[in-house]
Amino acid sequence: MPFTIAIDGPAASGKGTIARALAQRFGFLHLDTGLLYRAVGALGGDPVAAARALTPEDLLRPGLRSAEAGQAASQVAAIPEVRAVLVDFQRHFAAQEPGAVLDGRDIGTVICPGAQLKLYVVAADETRAARRAAELGTDPAEMLAQLRERDARDAARATAPLRAAPDAVVLDTTALTIDEAVARAVALVEERLSAQPAP
């Protein structure tokens, strides 16, 4: 099985930034799985039908990074049938050579429970709200309320709730710069890669 890195955590914790940096550093493929749900929400109509019809081109739609798209994603992600359709897409992606980095909310617990490295990236609520508000040019207080609402929905859903896998390494980025957070993640990957049996 190709080397797989599963990165989970709440919105604006830094998991996407870390995932992209690791993929670039090690030459692995990268999938922001949240984009799948954002695209399904953006397509509108019946979410299950939208998930079945999803194509890679749909992940390039403009506006998928907006706060509204994030809220829509969280709502469609709570639908078990939508999640079931998208599981195969994600597992197929993870099985590709030379390796893959997937970030989302249930990668280490549901999508890739056998991943060689699982990271659970967290940060203080206020820190996450300030980051996302700066990124989107919105009010931090309003963003804090949105993030907490989304966190509660993601953690409470019956199917694949947001939580750390038992064997995940927790990485708190609250007081870290991007470079510091990436450096810690790189060190963990290098440690796991060095422990891999020779082909």
133 labeled part of a ligand binding site: no
CA 194 from chain center: how many Å?
Answer: 25
Number of C-beta neighbours around residue 68 at 10 A? 12
DSSP classification of residue 159: S
104 labeled part of a ligand binding site: no
CA 165 from chain center: how many Å?
Answer: 14
3-state class (DSSP) for residue 114? coil
98 labeled part of a ligand binding site: no
Pairwise CA distance, residues 176 & 105, whole Å: 21
- With b for 16 or more beta-carbon neighbours within 10 A and e for fewer, the 11-28 pattern comes to bbbbbbbbbebbbeebeb
Interhelix angle for 140-156 vs 67-77, to 10°?
A: 10
C-alpha distance from residue 40 to each of 67, 73, 149, 152, 163 (Å): 15, 7, 20, 21, 22
CA 136 from chain center: how many Å?
Answer: 18
118 labeled part of a ligand binding site: no
16 labeled part of a ligand binding site: yes
Question: Which residues are annotated as part of the binding site for ATP?
Answer: 9-17
Question: Which residues are annotated as part of the binding site?
Answer: 9-17
